[in-house]
Amino acid sequence: MPQMNMIQALNSAMDIMLGRDPNVVVLGEDVGYFGGVFRVTDGLQRKYGEHRVLDTPIAEGAIVGAAIGMGVNGLRPVAEVQFADYIYPACDQIFSELARLRYRSAGEFWAPVTIRTPCGGGIRGGQTHSQSPEGIFTHVCGIKVVMPSNPYDAKGLLIASIEDDDPVVFFEPKRIYNGPFDGDPNKPAVPWSTHPKGEVPDGYYTVPIGKAEVVRKGAQVTIVTYGTMVYVCEAAARSLGLDAEIIDVRTMVPLDVDTICTSVKKTGRCLIAHEATRFSGFGAELSATIQEECFWDLEAPIQRVAGWDTPYPHAFEWEYFPGPQRVAGGLKAVMETP
Q: What's the pLDDT tens digit per position in 270-322?
A: 999 999 999 999 999 999 999 999 999 999 999 999 999 999 888 888 888 89
The CATH number of domain 3-199, selected from 3.40.50.970, 2.40.70.10, 3.40.50.1220, 3.40.50.360: 3.40.50.970
Give the confidence band of 184 by pLDDT, cuts at 50, 70, 90: very low
- 235, pLDDT greater than 80: yes
Q: How far is CA 333 from CA 207, 236, 300, 301, 326, in A?
A: 34, 13, 9, 9, 11
Give the confidence band of 196 by pLDDT, cuts at 50, 70, 90: low
More confident residue, 83 or 318: 83
* Angle value at C-alpha 318, between 315 and 319, nearest 5 degrees: 85
The CATH 3.40.50.970 portion of the chain extends over: 3-199
Whether residue 51 lies in the annotated active site = no
Average pLDDT, integer, range 42-49: 97
Which pLDDT belongs to residue 180?
53
Residue 58 CA to residue 44 CA, distance in Å, equals: 20
Question: Beta 53-55 vs 221-225: how paired, if at all?
Answer: unpaired
Within 10 angstroms of residue 24's Cβ, the number of other Cβ atoms is 22
The CATH 3.40.50.920 portion of the chain extends over: 213-336
- 158, pLDDT greater than 60: yes
Burial of 216 (0-12, 13-18, 19+ CB in 10 A): middle
- 191, pLDDT greater than 80: no
Which pLDDT belongs to residue 193?
34
Which pLDDT belongs to residue 291?
97
- 185, pLDDT greater than 80: no
**What percent of the chain has pLDDT above 70?**
94
- Chain-wide mean pLDDT for the chain? 92
- 77, pLDDT greater than 60: yes
Evaluate whether the domain defined by 213-336 bears CATH number 3.40.50.300. Answer: no
Average pLDDT, integer, range 97-107: 95
More confident residue, 1 or 261: 261
Which pLDDT belongs to residue 325?
93
